[in-house]
Chains A and B, each alone.
Chain A
Amino acid sequence: MAQNYYQKEIETMPVEEMKKLQSEKLVKQVKHVYENVPYYRNLMDEKGVKPEDIKGIEDLHKLPFLTKADLRDAYPYGLLAKPLEDCVRIQSTSGTTGRRVVAFYTQNDINLWEDCCARAITAAGGTNKDVCQVAYGYGLFTGGPGLNGGSHKVGCLTLPMSSGNTERQIQFMMDLNASIICCTPSYAAYIGETLKEQGYKPEDIPLKAGIFGAEPWTEEMRRNIEATLGIKAYDIYGLTETSGPGVAFECSEQTGMHVNEDHFYAEIIDPDTGEVLPEGSKGELVFTSLDKEAFPLLRYRTRDICVLSRKKCSCGRTLIKMAKPMGRTDDMLIIRGVNVFPSQIETVLLKEGYEPNYQIVVDRKKNTDTFDINVEMTPEQFTDKVSEILSMEKSLANAMKTMLGINPAVHLVAPKSIARSEGKAIRVIDKRKLI
């Protein structure tokens, strides 16, 4: 298969040259952050690191880490490195205790992000002859806007479908000959099942490739999606804190995702000691934005457990590859592509007058994540009217939706009915078989 690159010079750059480029960018970036972000300047001062101590990428390990807690503490403007007049966009994701993560973008930041997505679409075979159906959510969620921008850059005819309304997705796909689809893997599987039920065979479906991310998925799921839709399925990785999807993307070899390391430098660390681990080790993935202007996070701990590899890739790209994340170092769940922290659920319960005795049950049925929250009622909350209990469940579900961005099914249950092991309630039951 002939290889297409969106930015060949970068994507196939010899490793030594890439290191030089990264070093130049890092030195500038550290200076920019130190001068413009008092929050990070304090962290550096506390560690006794000055911008002039960072002479190249080999000095990166001297810098302090940033975590989700820092984003919360610095909310909303504390990590902003540019005046708001220079910013043109906000994207957002849910945070750990109810405070959202808001990320700011200058026009240059949007450009580099869209470049990253364009590289992903090109690696999946996309050209200006393609019709690209973007079925990720649009709005504050980065999925839709990121791939939409990338699709424009490649010159694809872009269908900004957003997520949901499967009938309409299928109608546009079939009538307008969509050749590439971008969405969560579970939604791709769902669309595939729906097409199958409607009697479409893989050869009737105009799609040739799909770019799927924002949630964990297995090789088995990949093969199923590829078979039902008659496509090649490519993985994509990203997080709002760094920009969005496109931080890393898969090529035709399908053996891990190339990190766009001219923009995002990846490290693997020991999550307990913070020590940088050598290539090939399993540990926590850390990203440094090398040239983002408005929201340049240095050494941001993703909490994703991962492995990096520089093994030569048959696609010709020299960009380092990351494996599919193998888990988390915190208790974050990804449900229907949305980040959910048990602490958010606790926050809602307390606010709504419930005891924080709950259990989250996540499963995957018909390729869609199910999300149930069992909540123990207190005797005072119990009533003899079924309608009142149902309306309590509904209003609690609405409050959860406001906090989390996705709709759970809330079930009120009897006190002490949630299973406890050694006195400690089991908060999360994840029945999805992943990785």
Chain B
Amino acid sequence: MAIKQLTVFVENKQGSLVSITDTLSKHEVNIRALSIAETQDFGMLRLIVNDTATAEKVLSEEGYLIKINEVVGIKIGDAPGKLSAALNVLDEKKINIDYLYAFMSRTEKHAYVVVRVEDNAAAEKAIEDAGLHTITEADICKL
């Protein structure tokens, strides 16, 4: 079960980022994980939030350029070598990763990695077949 990611186009000027996080906080959207990719001209803020629908609605109303797409969340242990193990599974299946970012859980002693691939189903199957676990929307809300 892939999870929803929200990508926001961030102009390269002062205050762009803070006005996005302000909008989310005003509507009580909680950010679970984020990453920023930056180029010379612009940035891309990628977010995993507890309430994607609300986040999408309020940011769209503010005029932000938004893209919702599905990514794969993988639960990995919090120990050296765990990320490598997960990536090796994908590598063996020749699943190309466009980008990834990771976050820690506050309650459980676990790390999570979010990967962007072309074929989510294939990536999930590979992970599950290898005895690792993917996370779902419901898991995200509980974190």
- State whether A415 touches B65 (Cβ < 8 A): yes
Q: CB < 8 Å: which of A383, A387, A413 contacts B42?
A: A413
**Chain B minimum-CB-distance residue to A390:** B39
Q: CB < 8 Å: which of A379, A386, A390 contacts B65?
A: A379
* Cα A417 to Cα B16 with chains together (Å): 12
Inter-chain contacts of A415 with B (CB < 8 A)? 63, 65
Residues 396-414 of A at the B interface (beta carbon under 8 Å): 411-414
- State whether B41 touches A382 (Cβ < 8 A): no
- State whether B67 touches A383 (Cβ < 8 A): yes
- State whether A416 touches B63 (Cβ < 8 A): yes
* Cα A414 to Cα B12 with chains together (Å): 11
**Chain A minimum-CB-distance residue to B63:** A416
Residues 410-432 of A at the B interface (beta carbon under 8 Å): 411-417
**Chain A minimum-CB-distance residue to B41:** A411
In the complex, A384 has a CB within 8 A of chain B? yes
* Cα A382 to Cα B66 with chains together (Å): 7
In the complex, A79 has a CB within 8 A of chain B? no
In the complex, B50 has a CB within 8 A of chain A? no
In the complex, A377 has a CB within 8 A of chain B? yes
In the complex, A385 has a CB within 8 A of chain B? yes
- State whether A414 touches B65 (Cβ < 8 A): yes
Q: Whole-angstrom distance from the CB of B42 to the nearest CB of chain A?
A: 7
Inter-chain contacts of B44 with A (CB < 8 A)? 384, 386, 389
Residues 43-88 of B at the A interface (beta carbon under 8 Å): 44, 46, 63-67, 69
Inter-chain contacts of B134 with A (CB < 8 A)? none
Assess A384 versus B11: contact at CB under 8 Å? Given A379-B65, A414-B64. no
Q: Whole-angstrom distance from the CB of A186 to the nearest CB of chain B?
A: 24
Q: CB < 8 Å: which of A377, A385, A411 contacts B98?
A: A385
Q: CB < 8 Å: which of A379, A383, A387, A413 contacts B11?
A: A413
- State whether A377 touches B65 (Cβ < 8 A): yes
**Chain A minimum-CB-distance residue to B116:** A384
* Cα A414 to Cα B116 with chains together (Å): 23
* Cα A384 to Cα B46 with chains together (Å): 8
* Cα A310 to Cα B37 with chains together (Å): 63
Inter-chain contacts of B9 with A (CB < 8 A)? 377, 382, 414
Mark contacts of B24-41 with chain A using CB atoms, 8 A cut-off: 1 yes-contact digit, 0 otherwise. Answer: 000000000000010101
Q: Whole-angstrom distance from the CB of A413 to the nearest CB of chain B?
A: 7
Q: Whole-angstrom distance from the CB of B23 to the nearest CB of chain A?
A: 14
Chain B count of residues within 8 A CB distance of the other chain: 19
A residues whose Cβ falls under 8 Å from a Cβ of B = 377, 379, 382-387, 389-390, 411-417
Q: Whole-angstrom distance from the CB of B72 to the nearest CB of chain A?
A: 14
Inter-chain contacts of B116 with A (CB < 8 A)? 384-385
- State whether A414 touches B67 (Cβ < 8 A): no
9 contacts between A and B (CB under 8 A): A382-B9, A384-B7, A384-B69, A386-B44, A389-B42, A411-B41, A412-B42, A414-B11, A415-B63
Residue with the greatest number of chain B CB neighbours at <10 A, chosen from A384, A387, A390: A384
Q: Whole-angstrom distance from the CB of B12 to the nearest CB of chain A?
A: 9
Closest 8 CB pairs of A and B: A384-B7, A414-B65, A386-B37, A382-B65, A411-B41, A384-B67, A382-B67, A414-B9
Q: Whole-angstrom distance from the CB of A311 to the nearest CB of chain B?
A: 51
**Chain A minimum-CB-distance residue to B5:** A384
Inter-chain contacts of A389 with B (CB < 8 A)? 39, 42, 44
* Cα A385 to Cα B98 with chains together (Å): 8
Mark contacts of B102-130 with chain A using CB atoms, 8 A cut-off: 1 yes-contact digit, 0 otherwise. Answer: 00000000000000100000000000000
* Cα A104 to Cα B41 with chains together (Å): 44
- State whether B39 touches A386 (Cβ < 8 A): yes
Inter-chain contacts of B39 with A (CB < 8 A)? 386, 389-390
* Cα A39 to Cα B49 with chains together (Å): 67
Inter-chain contacts of B7 with A (CB < 8 A)? 382-384
* Cα A415 to Cα B66 with chains together (Å): 11
* Cα A429 to Cα B101 with chains together (Å): 39
Inter-chain contacts of B46 with A (CB < 8 A)? 384
Inter-chain contacts of B41 with A (CB < 8 A)? 411
Inter-chain contacts of B66 with A (CB < 8 A)? 379, 382
Q: Whole-angstrom distance from the CB of B38 to the nearest CB of chain A?
A: 8
Inter-chain contacts of A414 with B (CB < 8 A)? 9, 11, 63-65
Inter-chain contacts of B69 with A (CB < 8 A)? 384
Residue with the greatest number of chain A CB neighbours at <10 A, chosen from B11, B42, B69: B42
**Chain A minimum-CB-distance residue to B7:** A384
* Cα A415 to Cα B63 with chains together (Å): 8
Inter-chain contacts of A382 with B (CB < 8 A)? 7, 9, 65-67
Q: Whole-angstrom distance from the CB of B51 to the nearest CB of chain A?
A: 19
Inter-chain contacts of B11 with A (CB < 8 A)? 413-414, 417
* Cα A413 to Cα B40 with chains together (Å): 12
Inter-chain contacts of B5 with A (CB < 8 A)? 384
Q: Whole-angstrom distance from the CB of B10 to the nearest CB of chain A?
A: 9
* Cα A386 to Cα B5 with chains together (Å): 15
A-B contacts besides A384-B69, A386-B44, A414-B9, 12 pairs, CB < 8 Å: A382-B7, A384-B5, A384-B44, A385-B116, A386-B99, A387-B98, A389-B42, A389-B44, A390-B39, A414-B11, A415-B63, A416-B63
